[in-house]
Amino acid sequence: MCSRLTGVCSLLACLWLTALSAHAASLRPVAAERGMVVSAQHLATEVGVNVLKHDGNAVDAAVAVGYALAVAYPAAGNLGGGGFMTIRFADGRKTFLDFRERAPRAATRDMYLDKDGKVVDGLSMTGWLAVGVPGTVSGLEYARSKYGTMTRAALIDPAIDLAEDGFVLDQGDVDMLATATDDFSKFPPTGEIFLNKGQPFVAGRRLVQRDLANTLRRVRANGADGFYRGRTAEAIVKASRAGGGIIQLEDLSSYKTRELAPIECDYRGYHLISAPPPSSGGVALCEMLNILEGYPLREFGWGSAQALHYEIEAMRRAYVDRNTLLGDPTFVNNPVERLIDKGYAAKIRETISPDKAGISSDFGKDVAAHEGSNTTHFSIIDHDGNAVSLTYTLNDWFGARVVASGTGVLMNDEMDDFTASPGRINSYGIVPGEANAIAPGKIPLSSMSPTIMTKDGKVALVLGTPGGRRIITTVLQTILNVVDYQMNIQEAVDAPRLHHQWFPDVTNTEPRALSPDTRKILEGMGYRFDDSLPANHVAAIMVGAPSLDGKPVGKKRFYGANDPRRGTGLAAGY
């Protein structure tokens, strides 16, 4: 576990690494025999487990959890947003559903710029002009009708009950609502729902959302048409026009979920299935893993300066490619095969010094868009071994903070994920941000990385996380923790993290991510650190045993890990 940079390891650093890795888990992984659900909200997890108990498959449970989170986790759960679903069936088939938000037909490349060509602060983040065409209802209904086994009513009724009857707010729920109190006050239809007679809610109060219950009833009766046509669609368009937005009825009625082949790659004998463009997640994840496969990380040890040096440099290189080359495949020719090729990774390793930090400005200038970090993810596996990894989002907490009167639906601010002002051509012949420029009907580039890992033809790991651009590096480090550093799944989720995304040229860290000795070594190599990495909420399931090299606990086959960082969520099985 000692750094090869110095040839020696101080007793203090060795003891720190040993103690942290030996006691990393907040609790034991939750074990179950027949199925497992992990989500960021305990009521939604319970809905999913109940579906599995009644012979629903993993897709059925995912649909039910998706609808339940739209009620019980309004900060990020949604009907007015969109996302991605990676599915790996027990028979070996795999697929990917893209129900990400799209730019309205009236969107223009310069719609967030002033007369001087500068981005207008906040215009793409708050209010109706920030709203992209939502895809969640389309995605959930597509998945249910094609791959589910239960009726729509059976899967949506629990969410309707939660909305109609309300649920008691925990302190974590109240804390999230408090982050948007000022904006709720600015938009009366939103404040009527998420403020208690104009004041912030307190723990123990009940949040009732009867308009949302009625919207869900229209979906129950008419499927996706209950959202994209008729009363709900008309209310959204009316509110958008009144609020300066550009969504039209045709934007909603023409929305279709897209089914794509997932990104796939191999790492140290394991097979990864992840998100393709318009997500950058799978491509960047495979690129980083391919780079790191050339280094003996287990020999270096978790938290060692040498291992962290190579991990950061892999992140830096992958984000250069992510931010300059990738975009919606309908609009951009993504060089996926080249980026995930192991030969390409070998060439990248040749550019990485063994004892010196890279310099981000040597790779050009980044003008990539802001990406909201307040997404949510859930992981599910059923008795037969069908697995779903689903990440969906409103972008920022509570999205654009707007609700169409009478719908109860919080709308996304996903237009902020586009690059509002692409840069000039750089020395590499690339216009930074051009691949992610705004265009009508286009999907903004995402980092969402719902991922499934298999071994010998069977699911070994289901995982994902919110976190904006931090999603990819968080999923990466969780995989490294279980494969290279032999942690059990809860230890892997709990372990401190770091993140580098090319620009700014600084490595963000969580508390205790670096020992004092390791930090000193890395700073001597040229690294700069910022100890303010926000928390992600990883939801992960290990299959077979609590760790990849471990033994099962009795007859238990599934081991769930709920991230303790946000103080919400639940891993539960049966």
Active centre residues (catalytic): 375
CB 104 within 8 A of CB 132: yes
Region at 562 (left for phi over 0; alpha for psi -120 to 50; beta for the rest): beta
Whether residue 71 contacts residue 77, with contact meaning beta carbons closer than 8 Å, is answered with yes
Amino acid (one-letter) located at 129: L
Residue 370 DSSP symbol: P
Q: How many CA atoms, within 13 angstroms, populate the side-chain half-sphere of residue 57?
A: 18
CA atoms lying within 13 Å on the CB side of residue 560: 28
Q: 175 and 203 in contact (C-beta within 8 Å)?
A: no
The answer to whether 294 and 480 are in contact (CB under 8 A) is: no
Give me the residues paired with residue 570 across strands. 39
Q: How far apart are CA 395 and CA 402, in angstroms?
A: 13
Q: Are 432 and 422 in contact (CB under 8 A)?
A: yes
For every residue of 508-532, DSSP letters joined together read EE-TTSS-HHHHHHHHHTT--EES-
Cβ pair 345, 291 in contact under 8 A: yes
| C-alpha–C-alpha distance, residues 479 and 389, integer Å | 15
Alpha-carbon 404 to chain mean position: 26
Joined together, the tokens standing for residue 471 give 């999603």
Q: Which long-range contacts (CB under 8 A, 24 or more apart) does 195-202 make?
A: 200/174, 201/169, 201/173, 201/174, 201/177, 202/169, 202/174
State the pairing for strand pair 529-530/507-509: parallel
Positive or negative: CA dihedral 41, 42, 48, 51? negative
Beta strands, E only, 352-437: 375-381, 387-393
